[in-house]
Amino acid sequence: MKLGFIGLGIMGSAMANNLLKSGFRLNIYNRSKEKVKDLTSDNYEFFDNPKSLAQNSDIIFLMLSNDEACESVASSNNGLLEGLSSDKTVVNFSTVSPYYSQKLCDEVHKKNALFLEAPVVGSKIPAQNATLIILCAGDKKAYDTATHYFEKLSKRVFYLDTVPNASYLKIVNNQVMGITMQALAEGLQLAKKLNLDLNVVLDLLNSGAFANSMFDLKGKNILNSNYNAHFPYEHMQKDLGFAVKLSEDKKAFCPALSIVNETYKKGLSLYSKEDMCAIFELLNS
């Protein structure tokens, strides 16, 4: 089975490295070829465009930043769709809007190829440690084929039947995460104004019912003013925007979601490339 991998960003590089470490040879495409320096093995071949990669691969994994990046890879001249045929499978790890995921699924099916949406839960460290959670929906045959490779990338996999159910679940997950992240940032901001020891505040939060790994990691990073991107701020706002649109379309009343999305939007020009926990800096300004 020939594997193709498109997208060597924070997440994609880590995931590609885990496949390489597991002994798989990869066909690679990335808009910037210099990103191959982040790969820890030379057991790959770099292709100049997505079309040629698809023509030379049985399964094509995508890990890109948003709808626009996926559409550029899929539909541009010499794009992915031009290289597909009935013996191919496309697995999209990217977190995209449910509307785009359905569109890409339809386009792949027009080529008589198989499609699986597979957005991942986790950021830089889980990607590096192969402890992601993968949410899948789409062709069952594609899922059965891809499961062997998912084992090298994740600690758990969910299969949710039809597209865009996996995208829906990922957006709900990130809705809760974004709201919780702002709750932590607001609490620490008020505690700072009250001259409380923020280390004690975090110790309390992580000693009771609120204890969770995000509070532990992001809280410590906030205290150390460490905003190196594990989950980029701009990606959190993108996902919150998806959730807002879904809540409007489905007539779900989500007032906290709307407020948190507007807060993240307010800081985009300052913190887009920082980690999502930089929301603390916006609230503390």
164 three-state secondary structure? coil
Catalytic residue among 51, 170, 218, 238: 170
28 three-state secondary structure? strand
133 three-state secondary structure? strand
Place of tokens 């539909």: 75
Asked if 238 is an active-site residue, the reply is no
Mutual orientation of helices 198-205 and 165-193 as an angle, nearest 10°? 140
Q: Is 14 exposed, middle or buried (0-12, 13-18, 19+ CB in 10 A)?
A: buried
Q: How far is CA 138 from CA 83, 116, 124, 150, in A?
A: 20, 5, 26, 15
108 three-state secondary structure? helix
Q: Could you tell me which residues come within 8 angstroms of residue 181 by beta carbon, excluding any fewer than 6 positions away?
A: 214, 218, 236, 276, 277, 279
Q: Could you tell me which residues come within 8 angstroms of residue 207 by beta carbon, excluding any fewer than 6 positions away?
A: none
Q: Which parts of the chain fold into alpha helices (H)?
A: 10-21, 50-55, 67-75, 98-110, 124-128, 140-150, 165-193, 198-205, 213-223, 233-249, 255-266, 268-271, 279-283
Residues marked active site are found at: 170
